[in-house]
Amino acid sequence: MTIESTNQWTFVDIKDLLERRRDQASFHVFSEEYVRGEIFNLEIEQELKQSSYDGNVLITCFKGILNIKVAESTRIISELQQILINPKIPFHIKANTESSFQIIWSPCFAKYETLEPKFKDRLEYPIDFIDSMMGNFQKPGFQQALSLTQDLKDIIIDSDSIKLSSWIDKIDFDTESLGSAFFMVYQFSKDLLQKNLKEKG
Question: Strand 36-42 vs strand 99-106: parallel, antiparallel, or unpaired?
Answer: antiparallel
- Asked whether residue 130 falls in the same domain as residue 172, the answer is yes
Q: What is the pLDDT of residues 111-129, one digit of tens each?
A: 888 775 332 334 455 777 7
Reported as a single tens digit per residue, the pLDDT across 50-98 is 889 999 999 999 999 999 999 888 999 999 999 999 999 999 999 999 9
Domain total for the chain? Answer: 2
* Domain end among 119, 140, 156: 119
37-46 pLDDT, tens per residue? 999 999 998 8
End position of a domain, from candidates 95, 119, 143: 119
Give the pLDDT score at 160.
80
CA 112/CA 100 separation, integer angstroms = 21
> Would you state the pLDDT for residue 177?
62
Last residue of a domain, one of 71, 94, 119: 119
If asked whether residues 38 and 106 sit together in one domain, one would say yes
Domain enclosing residue 47, as ranges: 1-119
Higher pLDDT residue, 107 or 182? Answer: 107
State the Cα–Cα distance between residues 28 and 38, nearest whole angstrom: 4
* Structural contact between residues 133 and 181, judged by C-beta atoms closer than 8 angstroms: yes
For 9-36, what is each residue's pLDDT tens digit?
Answer: 989 999 998 998 888 888 888 888 889 8
